Amino acid sequence: MNGLMMQQPLLISSLLVHAERHHGEREVVSRRVEGDIHRYTYRELAARSRRLAKALAALGVKPSERVGTLAWNGYRHMELYYAVSGAGSVLHTINPRLHPDQIVYIADHAEDQVLCFDLSFLPLVQAVAGRTKTIRHFVAMTDRAHMPADPKIPNLLCYEDLVDGQDDRYDWPVFDENTASSLCYTSGTTGNPKGVLYSHRSTVLHTFAIALPDALNCSASDAILPVVPMFHVNAWGLPYAACMTGAKLVFPGPGLDGKSLYELFEAEQVTVSAGVPTVWQALLAYVDANGLKFSTMRRTVVGGSACPPAMLRQFAEDYDVHVLHAWGMTEMSPVGTVAAFKPQHLAQPVEERYAVMSKQGRAVYGVDMKIVDPAGRELPWGGAASGDLLVRGPWVLSRYFKGEGGEALRDGWFPTGDVARIDAEGYMQITDRSKDVIKSGGEWIGSIDLENIAMAHPAVAIAACIAVPHPKWDERPLLVVVKKPGAELTKEELLGFYEGKIAKWWTPDDVVFVDAIPLGATGKMQKNRLRQMLKDYRLPVA
Ligand code: ADP
């Protein structure tokens, strides 16, 4: 017997319709590429998204066709999020930090028909425009007054002209919720980037899950500033969760330096934010150096790479900001786990609570996870065993776009490529990417643990730990460190800092000081490039 409830497909457009009808007065504030602050309401966002949907249809964009973007976090990008997916086409957010060759590759692979871009990316678009195969229209996301005089792109269209050219009488089409909505390419540190194609259903379900209190905790009374870019796994779903909950949205545009971010946090009374650790490092350095405090910010989501315990402690103790440490990946829309407390943690001493917050967290409903040994047998929870982390759920990828890489699943589970432990309470802790593990004498050494300890040293700005060959142990850990400006630190002092914090045989064999550690397009340390940089390095002979 079937239930007797309405059949309503879960469509992305329904989030915008909800925001317009029930939170129509709530603000969306953006720092624009043009330099000023723009503000309007969800009502205006909805109306302009409808006009944009009509304009894209008038350009000949059909359902399922891809529309690419090269854009910062801002209201026009938000309009594209809803106009493109809402009309049944597919929004392809491109990471502008990729190399132009990679951008050409993914725009061709995605068969993008239109490319919309912020003016800051004009030189990048000029570099790729003549080389892409399928793009029929280039659209500069600005108004007539700011259009470049000599863009060197034939028939460049103006975004505001497109929107102005239509009225907002438009009904969002209704279609199967399994229809593709958006497309993101993985960073592709090995081989070509692979496309992850989300559906309306997966996106809406993910939105419900991340808005919950023990996940990203979004509410109508919040003002959310996603620092995580809209070109990085849909800003972790916040542009959707904000519409679902009616939270105020604040978009930083290109202003991602500490000063610009801090000023926006304060001026717009931001309560919640989200971003990768490297961004927070810059913000905290600015706030610290200028003796400032956050007057309204209370929570921030940190993910994308491990949040160093020293950072969540600094947020809590110096700024009264609670860090929600989260883990996920492009293939998971992205959120899989969040390190929110269970009741037993609330009464614990603060140090034990920091230890919980430092883990990557427990699964949000909708995602199941397990760790397995090399033969694929499930390993017990409890903290001791670490193994390959596998996940499944309705917003986890089943296959890459165009079947690239063949079957992505192992017995119905997606292998994340991460190595993790899961404690008895269900909190997962990543010890490494499987390709970064350090294997010493047949045992694994977790590079993330070693990095976290180094990052707690006051003179260390950033630390990476990589494996280097060793005649007896196969591999040993080498610590690569960038010192804070002006800080004094010797190798002996830093290695001494490990004493008592980990098993002695885990201590790195050597420390190399460098000026910078290579970061990838999403702000992660690129250990493959680091290994390449240090390929001639040899451990000191004992
Ligand atoms: P994204 O595009 O979100 O950066 P990718 O799909 O490129 O994500 O990378 C996902 C990987 O990032 C994960 O498999 C994991 O290795 C790493 N990662 C994400 N969040 C965390 C975290 N909180 N701690 C440690 N590693 C993380």
The residue segments making up the domain with residue 74 are 10-248
Q: Is the pLDDT of residue 133 over 80?
A: yes
541 is a domain residue: no
Instruction: Output the domain CATH number for residue 480.
Output: 3.30.300.30
342 is a domain residue: yes
- Residue 326 Cα: closest atom of ligand 1: 23
503 is a domain residue: yes
| β-sheet bridge partners, residue 541 | none
Out of 434, 451, 466, a domain closes at: 434
pLDDT in tens, 473-490: 889 999 999 999 999 999
Backbone dihedral region for residue 263 (phi beyond 0: left; psi -120 to 50: alpha; all else: beta): alpha
**Which of 84-88, 264-268, 477-481, 517-521 shows the lowest per-residue confidence on average (mean pLDDT)?**
517-521
Residues 156, 21: one domain? yes
Beta carbons of 135 and 65 less than 8 angstroms apart: no
Confidence at 522, pLDDT banded by 50, 70, 90: confident
CA of 397 to the centre of ligand 1 (A): 15
- Sequence-distant (6+) residues with CB within 8 A of 192 are 105, 109, 404
Q: How many domains does the chain have?
A: 3
Confidence at 288, pLDDT banded by 50, 70, 90: very high
- Residue 524 Cα: closest atom of ligand 1: 4
Q: Minimal CA–CA distance to 449: which of 434, 426, 468, 432?
A: 432
- Residue 360 Cα: closest atom of ligand 1: 23
Residues 128, 273: one domain? no
Q: Is the pLDDT of residue 190 over 80?
A: no
- Sequence-distant (6+) residues with CB within 8 A of 124 are 70, 96, 100, 103, 117
Residue nearest to atom 9 of ligand 1 (CA): 329
Residues 419, 475: one domain? no
Which of 329, 419, 528 gets mutated to test ligand 1 (max ligand atoms within 8 A of its CB)?
329
**Whole-angstrom Cα distance, residue 35 to residue 455?**
35
Instruction: Output the domain CATH number for residue 260.
Output: 3.40.50.12780
For the residues 229-233, what does the mean pLDDT come to? 96
**Whole-angstrom Cα distance, residue 197 to residue 92?**
9
The token duo for 267 is 């001026």
Q: What is the pLDDT of residue 408?
A: 76
pLDDT in tens, 401-447: 998 776 679 999 999 999 999 999 999 999 988 888 898 888 888 89
* Angle (deg, nearest 10), helices 100-110 and 122-129: 60
467 is a domain residue: yes
Which of 430, 449, 522 gets mutated to test ligand 1 (max ligand atoms within 8 A of its CB)?
430
Residues 318, 368: one domain? yes
Q: What is the pLDDT of residue 72?
A: 98
Residues 191, 244: one domain? yes
Q: Minimal CA–CA distance to 479: which of 465, 491, 459?
A: 465
CA of 261 to the centre of ligand 1 (A): 23
pLDDT in tens, 9-66: 999 999 999 999 999 999 999 999 988 999 999 999 999 999 999 999 999 999 999 9
Residues 389, 442: one domain? no
For the residues 481-504, what does the mean pLDDT come to? 92
Whether residue 334 is preceded by a cis peptide bond, meaning omega within 30 degrees of 0, is yes
Q: What is the pLDDT of residue 542?
A: 64
Please name the residue that has the structure tokens 């060793």: 470
DSSP code per residue over 321-362 = -EEEEEEE-GGGSSEEEE-PPPHHHHTS-HHHHHHHHHS-BE
Q: What is the pLDDT of residue 188?
A: 60
Out of 434, 466, 499, a domain closes at: 434
CA of 542 to the centre of ligand 1 (A): 36
Q: What beta strand segments (E) does 119-200 contain?
A: 137-140, 157-158, 180-185, 195-199
Confidence at 541, pLDDT banded by 50, 70, 90: confident
The token duo for 240 is 């959707």
Tell me the backbone φ, ψ of residue 468, rounded to 5 degrees. -125, 150
For the residues 377-388, what does the mean pLDDT come to? 92
Q: What is the pLDDT of residue 278?
A: 87
Q: What percent of the chain has pLDDT over 70?
A: 98
- As a whole number, the mean pLDDT across the chain is 94
**Which of 218-222, 317-321, 483-487 shows the lowest per-residue confidence on average (mean pLDDT)?**
483-487
For the residues 384-389, what does the mean pLDDT come to? 92
Q: What is the pLDDT of residue 391?
A: 98
The catalytic site residues sit at: 186, 331, 439, 444
For the residues 287-307, what does the mean pLDDT come to? 95
Instruction: Supply angle C-alpha 313, 315, 316, rounded to 5.
Output: 65
Out of 389, 410, 434, a domain closes at: 434
- Sequence-distant (6+) residues with CB within 8 A of 148 are 119, 122, 140, 156
pLDDT in tens, 99-119: 899 999 999 999 999 999 999
Alpha helices in 170-323 (DSSP H): 200-211, 238-245, 258-267, 277-289, 309-319
Beta carbons of 109 and 127 less than 8 angstroms apart: no
Residues 430, 441: one domain? no
119 is a domain residue: yes
Residues 217, 349: one domain? no
pTM for the whole thing?
Answer: 0.92
| β-sheet bridge partners, residue 93 | 69
Residue nearest to atom 24 of ligand 1 (CA): 306
- Sequence-distant (6+) residues with CB within 8 A of 342 are 362, 425
**Whole-angstrom Cα distance, residue 49 to residue 52?**
5
For the residues 186-213, what does the mean pLDDT come to? 90
Q: What percent of the chain has pLDDT over 90?
A: 85
For the residues 326-331, what does the mean pLDDT come to? 96
